[in-house]
Amino acid sequence: MLLILTALFSFSLSEAQVVSEQPDSITEQAPSKESGLRFFARGGVSLSYFGYNFEDTELYDSNLLAGSNFGVGMQIPLGKKGTLILQPELRFIQKGMRTKVGGGDSSADRHNKVTFRHNYIEIPIELMHKMQMRKYWMEYGLGGFVAWGIGGKVNSHGVETLGEYDVSGNPSVYSDKIGFHRFDAGFTMEMNIGMGKWTVGVSGDTSLTRFHKRSSQKYVGNKNISASFYLKYFIN
């Protein structure tokens, strides 16, 4: 009888050990947090260019315009490995152009300036690919964006007219005498290098829409191009 009780007690201990080890094995097989839904915030500086093709290049000189960009978004994994990601985002971005206008004296080294600045709410959606490199990782992707202008002005310094534009009084870029559309859309791309929850990245937008009402004129192009440099932080 003592031998039977000893055998039963040993068997019950072994069964309890198997049951206690089972949750650990399930936990080890569960996907990691890196492969789940992630949220992020980003912010940085943008450089933009509208690509005006002025006929008189000695009088007009187009330059890049610096602005800001910041936004929030999420990354949705499209597989168990988490290397393919869908990334929608809601972003505020400033785009535009700065133009120098030569003075009447050709020997003068100073220029008057006109700045076209647009403030956009933009929704880019990109398909991203992520690669792990030891403790660092890199992601890159392509996609499209739609944007809506929520404001913007023309700031003129010593200039009343620019080509056929009346820029006096610092009008809105969407006013009838300036003639920009609020809607914009096109291609976008992005590349990031990160460690932990922080990444350093660069993104670029290229407009494909006729975003200007006077785009049939020779000195107006449809090259709404911008590049953004930023820090991205993953919240979870």
Cα 203 from chain centroid (whole Å): 5
Per DSSP, the three-state class of 206 is strand
Dump pLDDT digits (tens) for 178-202: 888 899 999 999 999 999 999 999 9
Average pLDDT over every residue of 155-168: 79
Q: Judge whether residue 28 has pLDDT over 50.
A: no
As a residue count, the chain comes to 236
**Which single residue is written with the structure tokens 């839904």?**
37
* Burial profile 158-178: b = 16 or more Cβ within 10 angstroms, e = fewer: ebeebbebebeeebebbeeeb
Written as six digits, the tokens of 59 are: 């009088």
* Bridge partners (DSSP) listed for residue 90: 72
Extents of the domains making up the chain = 1-30, 32-234
> Which whole number is the average pLDDT over 46-68?
72
Mean pLDDT, rounded, of the chain: 79
- Per-residue pLDDT tens over the stretch 79-115: 887 789 999 999 999 998 888 776 544 444 456 888 8
pLDDT category at 168 given cuts 50, 70, 90 is: confident
pLDDT grade, residue 6 (50/70/90)?
Answer: very low
Helix (H, G, I), strand (E, B) or coil at 19: helix
| Secondary-structure class of domain 32-234 per CATH | mainly beta
Nearest to 54 by CA among 45, 62, 46: 62
Q: Using CA atoms, how far apart are residues 233 and 122, in angstroms rounded to an integer?
A: 19
Residue 19: per-residue pLDDT: 39
Average pLDDT of the segment spanning 11-40: 51
